[in-house]
Chain A
Amino acid sequence: MDLTRRELLSAAAALLVEQWAAARAIAGRSPATTDRKVVVVTCGGMRREDTFADSGFGNIPHLCRDLLPQSVFYPFLRNNGVTSHFNTISSVLTGNWQRLDDWGKTPPTSPTLFEYLRKAMHLGQDQAWFISSNKALTSQIGASSVSSFGPAFGANVIFPKQLLISAVVHAAEQGRAVHSADRATVQPEIVAILNGDNYDGLGWSVGGDSSSLDKLTLGTIQQAIEDLIRTSVPATGDEFTYLVAVEVIKRFAPSLLAITFSDMEVAHFGSYSLHLSGITTVDRLVYELWNLLQTLPAYREKTTLFVLPEFGRDLDGSNTNGFFNHRQGSESTRITWMMCLGDAVRRAQIMEDPIEQTDICPTIAGLFELKKLDLAGKPLPGLWL
C-alpha cells in the first residue's frame, strides 16, 4: 500500500471510529423491491487530494463528518474507460465501458439502467429521471441505441443549468444584460425560454414531442425557478439542478433518479479557488438531498444513494495542465471514490478492495432484482442485495 493510500484509509477510518457511536442504527426491515428507490449522484472531476484526504476534508465537511459514518465507503473506485463526461456517465448507467463521441452525438450502445428497470418492472415514464448540470451532455444519455430497449424505456432528461445559461445569454443577445443581482429580474427570461418552442440542449421528455416538455415537467421546472428566486443561497448551476431534482422527487417519487453536478468543472477555465468552491457546493447539496430523502415517506428507509465523482483530475505538472483537465490517464485521473448510503447499507464500513465504475450498474440492478443482464461489472461488496 502506498503512502497516499494508507493516509487516506487512516484518515477515513479515524473519522469513522470517531463518529461511529453517534451514527444512527442502520439495520432494519427491507422494503419490497417495487418500493425501492435509488438515487445516483455523479459530480464532475474531483481529485482525492481535494476531497477524501487530509488536504481535502475541509472542502467536504458534510460528506466526511455527517455522511461517511453512515456509509459504505469505497476509497478506490476506478474509471477504466474514457475519462470524458458523456462516456463516463453512460458507462456508469449501462455497466459497460462506452467509447462514444465525447459530446453525446450518439446514444450508449448498451441498455441503460433506466431501460432495464422500466422494461422489466413495467414502470411509467415518470419513474426514471436524469437531471444534469453538465453542458457537455445531451439527451442521448437517457436511452441506448439497442433496438429492444431504446427511448421507449428511457429516462426523462433535463439540463436545468443549460436552461439558466440560455436565459442569461438570450437576454444579453436581446440587449438586456442582467442589471442587478435581483433574482426576480432573471425570472422572466427563464420562463420565456421554458415557454419557447425549441428545447434542443435543454431537456427532453420521453412522453411527448422531443422538442417540448410535457406539462408536468414544465410545472416541475417552474416551481424550481420559483424556489431559486426565493432562496438566498448562491444561484449556481448546481443549486438550480438540485432544486429541479427536489421538485421531481416530490412530484414523481421516481424509482431511479440520476443527478449530475458540475460546478467544479470551472476547473477547465483555470480557477482553483472556484473549483474548490464547486466541490463545497456539491458537499452541501448531497447532504441536503440525503436529509430531504429522510423526510419523505416515499423515500425514507427505502432509498439507496450512491455518490461519486466521475473521475479525478490530472496531476500537477502533467502536460495536460494539471487540475484544469481530466484526460491524462494517470491514477490521479482514474482513481476516485464512492459513498453509498441508505437502504442497501447494513453496516457502515470502508471497502478497501478496488472496484470499477461498471460495478455500479449490476449493483443497482441487484437492488431491483433485475436478473440475467449482460453487464461487464460485478455487484459491489459490502452492500445488502
Chain B
Amino acid sequence: MTMPMLSEQRSQRAEAAEITSYSVLIKRLPVTLRPALNGQLAEWETLFPFERRRTQEFMRGVASFDPPALDALLEPLRRLEAKMGVERWDFSQTADTMENASLLARSAFYAEWRGEVQRIYEAVEAAAHASVPPPALQPRLIVAILPESLPFERATLWKKWGDRGAELSIDGDAARIAELLLRGPSSVPGLLAQQGNGEISDLWLIDAGSRLSAISAGSSAASSLDYMALRALRDQVLAQVNTVPKSIEVTDQTLTAIRNKNWDPWWPAELSGQAPLCKFVIDLYLSGNGALIFSNAFVEWAASEAIRRARPRVLFARFGLRAKPKAFTGIAIFENQQRISALPDVDDPQGSAVDASVLARYTLLAAQRYPEGAQTAFLCIAESAQNAYLILPEASKTGWTSPNKATPEQIAALLIHHLSTQPNDSG
C-alpha cells in the first residue's frame, strides 16, 4: 500500500469516526432540528461534497459550544416546541417527511419556529467560522439558454429581469456561445480541470432536450441531466407517484418506497453508477415542482436544487418546448399524457416561451439566494431574438466596456476570463 493510499484510508477512518460522533451530538439538539441532520447522515454516501462540508461545518460549530452556552442557545426553541406540542406529534426524527412539514406548517407558531431555527443556524455557523474561516469563494457561472424554437420579442424580453445586468445583442450565431464554452481547448471543462475542480458536481448540464450533452460530447466531468434521456425512468416514477392516495402518512410511505426502490433498469447509461446524481434525480422527482411533468419545470427545479445542494462552479440550464394540454386529458395534467391520450403532441411555442423566460429568471434568483451569488456571472441567451442578458460581478468587468453588441467569441472569452479570476483577485 502506498503512502497516499494509507493517508487517504486514515482520513476516511477519521471522517467516519467524526460522523458517528455527530449522531450523539444531534440527540442534544431540539427535536425539530434532528430530522434534517439525521437524514443527511443517513445519506452521507450520496451527498455532494458541498453538502458534506456544510454538515460537517454545522456540527463542528455545535460542538464548539460549551454545554451551558449550547443550552442557552437552544432553550428558546425547546420552549417553543413545548408550546407547539411537538411531544404529542407523530414527528419523524430520522428524516424530513411530508407529515413533519405539514405538522410544522399548520402550527400557530410556525413563523416563530422558523425564526428560531434561523437564529440557531446563524449562531452555529458564526461559531464554526470563528474557529475555521470559510475559504474564499471562487468565481462561478450560470448560463441559461432559451433556444431558437421559443419566440421572443426583444422589446419586452428582459422587462422583469431588473437592472443588475445589461441587455446584449449577439452579433453572430447565438447557439455558438454554448459550443465555445463547452468544447475546445479553452472550454469550461478544461478550465475547471486545470483549476482542480474536476468533481462532477462542479459542472452541471441540465437540458430540456439533449443538446448540451451532445455539445459536450458526454463529458464525464459533468453532472449531465437530459429530460429526454430520463423519459423511461420518469414514466416509471410518475406512474408510482400517481398511486399516492389522499393521505399524508401513506404518501410518506409511498415516497420512501419509491426512494428505496432499485431503479437501475431505467437509468440512462450515462448516469449508471453515479449514485449521488441518481439520488439527486429521484429526490427531485419526489419534491414536486413539476419536474415529472414539464421539461422546463424540470430544468428550473433541477438547476435550483443543484445550486442549493452542490454550489457548482458552472451550471448550464437549457430550456425547451412543451406540448399543449390535450383535449380532455389535459385536465389530468399530472398524468402521463402519452399513456392516457392517443392524440399526437402539438407544440406550444408561445406558452413555452412564457414559461421558460420566467423559469430562466428563477434560475438566476436561485443563485442569488446564496453568498456564492455575488461571485456568479449570469448569462441568459434568447437565441431567437439574437439577444442576451448579462450580469457580471464587478471584479470581472476589467476590460469589458459593456458594449451593446458582442460576438459569441467575445462573450465566451469574457466568461472564461471571469472563471479564471482567482478568489483573491476580487479582494
Contacts and interface: CB of A to CB of B under 8 A. Distances in A.
A96 to B, nearest CB: 12
Given A316-B362, A317-B365, A172 B333 contact: no
Given A168-B329, A181-B327, A329-B111, A101 B102 contact: yes
Interface residues of A, number: 51
Interface string A247-280: 0000000000000000000101111111010000
B295 to A, nearest CB: 10
Given A236-B331, A317-B368, A271 B297 contact: yes
Given A87-B106, A171-B340, 12 more contacts: A99-B108, A105-B248, A164-B331, A168-B340, A172-B339, A179-B342, A181-B326, A186-B328, A236-B330, A270-B300, A271-B296, A272-B358
B335 A82 contact: no
Contact of A168 (B247, B293, B331, B366): B331
A48 B196 CA distance: 48
A178 B289 contact: no
Contacts of A346: none
A181 B361 contact: no
B316 interface: no
B365 A316 contact: yes
B304 A321 contact: yes
Nearest to A98: B106
Interface in A97-113: 97, 99-105
Contacts of A218: none
Contacts of B328: 164, 168, 178, 181, 183, 186, 235
Given A269-B333, A316-B365, A82 B339 contact: no
Nearest to A83: B105
Contact of A178 (B106, B114, B325, B343): B343
Interface string B318-342: 0000100111111111110001111
A169 interface: yes
Interface string A145-173: 00000000000000001001100110110
Interface residues of B, number: 53
Contact of B246 (A183, A201, A270): A201
Given A317-B368, A329-B110, A102 B102 contact: yes
Interface string A307-336: 000000000110101111101010000000
Contacts of A168: 328-329, 331-332, 335, 340
B369 interface: yes
Nearest to A239: B331
Contact of A270 (B247, B290, B329): B290
A121 interface: no
B168 interface: no
Report which residue of B106, B107, B308, B328 has the largest number of chain A beta carbons within 10 angstroms of its beta carbon: B328
Contacts of A324: 288-290, 297
B248 A102 contact: yes
Report which residue of B352, B354, B366 has the largest number of chain A beta carbons within 10 angstroms of its beta carbon: B354
A178 B359 contact: no
A186 B334 CA distance: 18
A82 B106 CA distance: 6
B355 interface: yes
B153 to A, nearest CB: 15
B218 interface: no
A269 B294 contact: yes
B345 to A, nearest CB: 13
Nearest to A327: B105
Contacts of A164: 328, 331
A237 B333 CA distance: 11
Rank and list the top 8 A-B pairs by shortest CB-CB distance, nearest first: A270-B297, A270-B290, A181-B327, A317-B365, A269-B290, A273-B351, A273-B354, A172-B340
B100 interface: no
Given A103-B248, A178-B340, A181-B343, A271 B326 contact: no
B108 A177 contact: no
A236 B328 CA distance: 7
A353 to B, nearest CB: 23
B92 interface: no
B373 to A, nearest CB: 11
Interface in A63-107: 82, 84, 87, 97, 99-105
B342 A178 contact: yes
Contacts of B362: 316-317, 321-322
Nearest to B332: A165
A144 interface: no
Contacts of B105: 82, 84, 102, 327
Contacts of B322: 271
Contacts of B339: 172, 177
B284 to A, nearest CB: 12
A104 B248 CA distance: 10
A358 interface: no
A303 interface: no
A99 B107 contact: yes
Nearest to A329: B111
15 contacts: A101-B102, A104-B246, A168-B331, A177-B340, A178-B340, A179-B342, A235-B331, A271-B322, A272-B358, A276-B354, A319-B308, A321-B301, A321-B304, A321-B362, A327-B105
A103 B106 contact: no
Contact of A169 (B294, B296, B340): B340
B323 to A, nearest CB: 11
A327 B246 CA distance: 19
Report which residue of A177, A186, A240 has the largest number of chain B beta carbons within 10 angstroms of its beta carbon: A177
B149 interface: no
Contacts of A84: 105-106
A316 B293 contact: no
A329 B114 CA distance: 11
A270 B331 CA distance: 15
B265 to A, nearest CB: 23
Interface in B103-133: 105-108, 110-111, 114
B340 A269 contact: no
A180 interface: yes
A272 B354 contact: yes
A138 interface: yes
B290 A271 contact: yes
Given A269-B333, A270-B294, A272-B355, A177 B341 contact: yes
